[in-house]
Amino acid sequence: MSSEVERAVAAFLGEAEIDWEILKPVMCFVVLWNRLEAQHGQHLTLRRLESSADSAAASPAFDILRYEPHVAFFQGRYRDSSPRLPALLRDSGEPKVRQRMERLIAGTLESSQDILTAVLMIPYRIRNNLFHGRKDTFQLYAQTELFTHVNEVLCLFHSDLSGGR
């Protein structure tokens, strides 16, 4: 990569230079999301994501407890920090999607399918915010933990989609 590109990216981030180690989770997210979109025909809609979540959760090998540490992280992040939840829910589409995400954060979802679908809506919203200019690039360094959890969710989901392989 040219030094000109690195300087431009650093300037966009408001930094003197790029800390690639801190940005690694963001870069991994791009690759993991790309792979998920490729599995869904290059345009992953909410309906396709929900359908895939339902299929994965219906598998006998599926275990929602593998997602629990990430659910707990999202609940703490969005429940305890009021400005974050509206940003997550903004433009989230159908009222059903918004309600499911609100119930995930409140801890009131019961079925594995609903929990998995709601968990997957978080990376979906992050993807939309990141690629449509709503995610503040100046905050990417502060969101390493968020991207780390989202990436783990995507890895688990990739595994569940391929039957645990």
What is the pLDDT tens value at each position of the chain, 165 positions in all?
Answer: 788 888 887 887 777 887 788 888 989 999 999 998 888 776 788 888 888 999 999 888 899 999 999 999 999 988 866 677 766 666 666 778 788 888 999 999 999 999 999 999 999 888 887 877 666 666 777 788 999 999 999 999 999 988 765
> Which pTM value belongs to this model?
0.86
Q: How far apart are CA 142 and CA 18, in angstroms?
A: 13
Which residue carries 């000109």 as its tokens? 4
* Residue (of 148, 158, 141) closest to 44 by Cα position: 158
